[in-house]
Amino acid sequence: MADSVAAKNKCLDLAALLGKAKVPKAEPTRLSSSYKDQSTISGIINEGKRLGLDVKIVGMKDEHNMDLNRVMTTAVYYRENFPELNTSGVIITDASGMSQNSKTVAKSVRYPDGTNVIMVSAPKLKDRAELKRIMMKSASPNPDTGISWHPPGCNTIQSVIDHEMGHELEKAYRLLADGSDVKKILEENIHNGMQVSFKISDYAATNYPDEAIPELWSKYRNSPDPRPLAEAVGEAIMKRAKGSRGSI
């Protein structure tokens, strides 16, 4: 009897958990069904053109094997949802585009004319095993603290791009300025360094508040269960973006 009650309670817990779980907000792929050729640079450039993206290839021969769907559709997502960022395309670069010995898999580049592009490292994307190793490590809980370096769910190239674009959102909408809704939410929820680690990530605690919004934005976009703080910040950013469009 006690066992069946315990089992029932477990089911209820699970149902509550499933009911609460959010559908990840990463965009569905919108590349054309005819887009099968990711093995040539010309195939990538052509598909970029179809999506209205400026695609640049740096220092690579006409032979590679990467899954660039997610990178390109993410650039389209930011261009369409956050016009203030002026995201115009992607750069797929060899190692020369990233700082030396870097583990960087993606970064955001802003040109003097105000346009923004998402840069990804071809060597990291090509070496799937290395990419997986870097990403899994960064989002796996520390056995001593239960806290992971990056938030749970943030273990994909998409999550890295979202983090980098989180910095762009913070600057474009001045999210850390006094009086901003996002800053108010952080002030209400974070009172010490331990709370930064516990409620955001250990990485956010290395440079708070600068790394807080990118980590929370990436968590909001990629975690199946972002938790209240990331939900609140993510929703406030979406509202802020809509508000600024409404006022134009």
Interface residues toward Zn ion, by CB under 5 A? 211, 214
**Shortest approach of Zn ion to residue 164 CB, angstroms?**
7
88 Cβ neighbours under 8 A, 6+ residues apart: 53, 54, 79, 115, 116, 117
**Shortest approach of Zn ion to residue 210 CB, angstroms?**
7
Q: Among residues 150 and 183, whose Cβ is nearest to Zn ion?
A: 150
Coil, helix or strand for 76?
A: helix
**Shortest approach of Zn ion to residue 74 CB, angstroms?**
16
By Cβ distance, which residue is nearest to Zn ion?
214
Q: Among residues 48 and 97, whose Cβ is nearest to Zn ion?
A: 97
Q: Which DSSP symbol is given to 58?
A: E
**Shortest approach of Zn ion to residue 203 CB, angstroms?**
8
**Shortest approach of Zn ion to residue 159 CB, angstroms?**
12
DSSP per-residue letters across 99-165? -TT----EEEEE-TTS-EEEEEEHHHHH-HHHHHHHHHHHTSBPTTTS-BSS-TT--SHHHHHHHHH
Note if the bond before 224 is cis, omega within 30 degrees.
Answer: no
Q: Among residues 214 and 226, whose Cβ is nearest to Zn ion?
A: 214
Backbone angles phi, psi at 146, to 5 degrees: 80, 0
Residues 118 and 87: beta-carbon distance below 8 Å: yes
Q: Among residues 110 and 126, whose Cβ is nearest to Zn ion?
A: 110
Residues 122 and 60: beta-carbon distance below 8 Å: yes
**Shortest approach of Zn ion to residue 161 CB, angstroms?**
12
**In the block, residue with structure tokens 């999550």:** 159
Q: Considering only CA atoms, which of 120, 56, 111 is closest in space to residue 86?
A: 111
**In the block, residue with structure tokens 């660039």:** 68
C-alpha distance from residue 193 to each of 90, 190, 204, 208, 245 (Å) = 35, 8, 9, 8, 35
Q: Among residues 53 and 139, whose Cβ is nearest to Zn ion?
A: 139
Q: Among residues 106 and 125, whose Cβ is nearest to Zn ion?
A: 106
Backbone angles phi, psi at 121, to 5 degrees: -85, 115
Q: Among residues 47 and 211, whose Cβ is nearest to Zn ion?
A: 211
**Shortest approach of Zn ion to residue 40 CB, angstroms?**
33
